[in-house]
């Protein structure tokens, strides 16, 4: 299991090839945001500011990045994805980061949950 996913503010799930989330946004930036990016970091940061949620679903981890409101808005959708993975892969870590390394708030909150033991704790956050 090695996938990269974007969830739009409207809830559409966009599957990208692994490690291609930046390329996806670079190719579609103008269509998604209505203007050209002002610089390369905008391609990476603007989706997070606009309410997109980025997921890396890797072998030992399920990493979720986005702004807090966007992650809360997609909470049910994220819980379902994590629950679906629990049906296939019982032991992994869920990391939730209310930030992104490239964003202005690089020291935002983050949470780490071990699955399946902390699934109920995770549900309270999402």
Q: pLDDT tens, 40-91? A: 888 988 998 899 999 999 889 999 999 889 999 999 999 999 999 998 888 9
- Mean pLDDT computed over 95-119: 77
Closest CA to 2 of 55, 75, 45, 56: 56
Give the domain ranges of the chain: 3-125
pTM more than 0.85: yes
User: Which tokens belong to 26?
Assistant: 């670079």
Tokens of 19: 């490690």
Tell me the mean pLDDT in the region 117-124: 92
Three-class secondary structure of residue 27 per DSSP: helix
pLDDT reading at 101 higher than 60 = no
């Amino acid at each position: 299991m090695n996938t990269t996913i974007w969830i739009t503010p409207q809830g559409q799930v966009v599957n990208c090839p692994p490690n291609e989330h930046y390329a996806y946004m670079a190719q579609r930036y103008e269509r998604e945001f209505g203007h050209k990016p002002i610089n390369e970091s905008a391609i990476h940061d603007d989706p997070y500011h606009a309410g997109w949620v980025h997921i890396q679903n890797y072998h030992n981890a399920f990493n979720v990045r986005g702004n807090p409101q966007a992650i809360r808005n997609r909470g049910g959708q994220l819980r379902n994805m994590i629950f679906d993975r629990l049906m296939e892969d019982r032991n992994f870590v869920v990391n939730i980061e209310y930030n992104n390394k490239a964003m202005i708030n690089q020291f935002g909150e983050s949470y780490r949950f071990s699955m399946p033991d902390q699934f109920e704790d995770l549900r309270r956050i999402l």
